[in-house]
Structure 1
Amino acid sequence: MKLKLFSTTESNGQKPKKSKLREWVDAAVFALVVSTVVRGLIFSAFAIPSGSMEGSLLTGDHLFVSKLNYGARMPITPISIPFLEAKIFDGSVSTYWDGIKLPYYRLPGFSSIKRQDVVVFNYPPEIDRPVDMRSHYIKRCQALPGDVLKIVDGQVFVNGKAAPNAPKAQTSYMVNTDGREINPQLIHDLKIELLGQIADNQFVMIIPPDGLAAFKACTNVVSVKPIIEPKGQYDETVYPHDPRFKWNNDNFGPLMIPKQGHTIPLNDSTLTLYGSAINNYEHQTITRNGDHTLINGQKADHYTFKQNYFWMMGDNRHNSADSRSWGFVPEDHIVGKAMLTWLSIDSTETTLKKIRWNRMLRPIH
């Protein structure tokens, strides 16, 4: 028996009208695809959760981050739930599956990373996760591949020249008073952060530069002095976490930032400085056999880096976990350039004052 084939087109040549439910489903799928492409290739929105970049960026700032400037990074872990963090429910549940991993590839960008750019990147120490599933951090780029960085009494030097300080960069101060209480409303209004109290009349505070003069003018404030960790004082929390390098947050280096194609000799010093990067980010296994160094089981007296690295630091220098804590940021961890503050919410204010209107649509420098 011959079967008659029915066309999906009505006799008048028009397609059947979609149901309302089908229209909603199609619209939702289209919106999901477009938003995923935009978020993956063009820009993403991020919120500032901590004070490490204050006062350049404030806790509660919501940012647009361009992925076009440095070139969009293609997904390394392609199977994940979009628009969710890699870990949810206090880190107990993963929103991705790492059974499939793709090689690192980045589309051409408008420019390369420049010193003083404010950059979003994946947090390098989370080596138990795929690169693109690591937490997002935001810092200012202080040094590029091949640069030599040094910090002297809190001032960053790159290739022997003092690096510009962010106009609203913050640091900590030792404050001595005459014993009278400092007005809490003044502390709030000047956005001062109290880090600790040493004695009845001695405090450690982070004071924004805009309010420093007004704070010093208070009649009960005797002295305000910047806190600088002295040269040669070893801080075990500072990279490379080895007493042979007596470095701290304010006096650090000199340190060469690895560059793709740059070759270093392998000895005790270079292995201390660069061994973790070679192991964790270049995925080469380094071992020692007596006086010899082995890379992937083969004797080696030098190593050539396979990718570029960067040095990132927060503008709030004494309240920032950054490259001084964990070292270099590999190129494949770079997400994008912070471009614009589109919304800013101050959780410490009352309902009517929560939105910082003066920071709306503000370019990031």
Structure 2
Amino acid sequence: MNTDMYNSIVPGSKLLINYMARTKSRFDIFMYTIPLPGTPQLTAQRIIGMPGDTLQIKDKTVYINGIAITEPFDICYNFNFQTKRKLDSSYIALFQFVQGASIGPDHEYCYAIPKRYEQTLNADTAFVFFERKSDTPLRWDSECFPHDSIYPWNMDFYGPIRIPKRG
């Protein structure tokens, strides 16, 4: 399973998947398989936009049809930080650090961390610095759909894009 939904679905969770469900609603979890060479990967994503909606992200806030949505789920942000000593596995587990690694020789790291821990970690004296990583408007990120520099979008400033519907 991918780590996008790590704080909602952790390894070892038991899932009941209804393959007969015909309707989907905003904030439902949608499971699908990515057909990778070798072993297919089961993937989970949360539905935030419905067919016909316009999706936009401005400074990490998601807007649907021009209205900011409140996040009823535990979102992770990427943080750059430096600690006074090497991070240990118990600290990483306690604060549920997800995808990340050491990025420098002097205890410098970049990790995805649940938003709910931001204030606690920011005040922790074990850190030399702790900052949320953010991007700027109009800076193209090749990892973002539609993967074309004509759309200068990134994970923090995206769209607007209309979600297609039938008809």
Per the shorter chain, which TM-score range? 0.7 to 0.9
CA displacement, residues 173-221 of structure 1 (integer Å, 9 cap, x when unaligned): 11133x3334442223222236133331432122224544443343221
- SS of equivalent to 2:17: strand
Given the alignment of the two structures, is residue 59 of structure 1 paired with residue 3 of structure 2, yes or no? Answer: no
Given the alignment of the two structures, is residue 221 of structure 1 paired with residue 132 of structure 2, yes or no? Answer: no
Given the alignment of the two structures, is residue 208 of structure 1 paired with residue 114 of structure 2, yes or no? Answer: yes
Q: Which runs of 5+ in 1 are unaligned?
A: 1-48, 71-111, 127-133, 262-365
Higher RCO structure (Cα 8 Å, ≥6 apart): 2
Partner AA of 1:145 in structure 2: P
The separation in 2 between residues aligned to 1:231 and 1:221, in whole angstroms, is 29
Considering fraction of residues, name the structure with more helix.
Answer: 1
Partner AA of 1:61 in structure 2: S
CA displacement, residues 213-248 of structure 1 (integer Å, 9 cap, x when unaligned): 443343221332211221111111211111111111
Q: Is the contact made by 2:137 and 2:153 (CA closer than 8 Å) also made in structure 1?
A: yes
The counterpart of 1:154, out of the listed 33, 57, 60, is 60
Written as runs of structure 1 = structure 2, the 5 A alignment for 1:112-261 is 112-123=23-34, 136-177=42-83, 179-193=84-98, 195-199=100-104, 200-261=106-167
The separation in 1 between residues aligned to 2:108 and 2:118, in whole angstroms, is 17
The separation in 2 between residues aligned to 1:206 and 1:141, in whole angstroms, is 20
TM-score, length basis structure 1:
0.41
Runs of 4+ deviating beyond 4 Å: none
Q: 1:69 aligns to what?
A: 21
Q: 1:168 to 1:146 in 2, by over 3 A?
A: same
Q: Is the contact made by 2:2 and 2:44 (CA closer than 8 Å) also made in structure 1?
A: no
- SS of equivalent to 2:125: coil
Give the structure with higher Rg (CA). 1
Instruction: State the number of aligned residues.
Output: 162
Partner AA of 2:131 in structure 1: K
- SS of equivalent to 1:216: helix
Q: Is the contact made by 1:122 and 1:135 (CA closer than 8 Å) also made in structure 2?
A: yes
Partner AA of 1:69 in structure 2: A
CA displacement, residues 294-338 of structure 1 (integer Å, 9 cap, x when unaligned): xxxxxxxxxxxxxxxxxxxxxxxxxxxxxxxxxxxxxxxxxxxxx
The separation in 2 between residues aligned to 1:117 and 1:184, in whole angstroms, is 32
CA displacement, residues 239-261 of structure 1 (integer Å, 9 cap, x when unaligned): 11111111112211111111111
Q: 1:218 to 1:136 in 2, by over 3 A?
A: closer
- SS of equivalent to 1:63: coil
Residues 251-260 or 192-201, more deviating: 192-201
The separation in 2 between residues aligned to 1:207 and 1:160, in whole angstroms, is 27
Q: Which runs of 5+ in 2 are unaligned?
A: none
TM-score, length basis structure 2:
0.83
The separation in 2 between residues aligned to 1:252 and 1:59, in whole angstroms, is 30
The separation in 1 between residues aligned to 2:116 and 2:127, in whole angstroms, is 17
Q: Is the contact made by 1:182 and 1:220 (CA closer than 8 Å) also made in structure 2?
A: no
Q: What's the % identity of the aligned pairs?
A: 25
CA displacement, residues 74-96 of structure 1 (integer Å, 9 cap, x when unaligned): xxxxxxxxxxxxxxxxxxxxxxx
The separation in 2 between residues aligned to 1:166 and 1:214, in whole angstroms, is 20
Q: 1:192 to 1:166 in 2, by over 3 A?
A: same
CA displacement, residues 140-176 of structure 1 (integer Å, 9 cap, x when unaligned): 0011111111111222111001122243121211113
Q: 1:323 aligns to what?
A: none
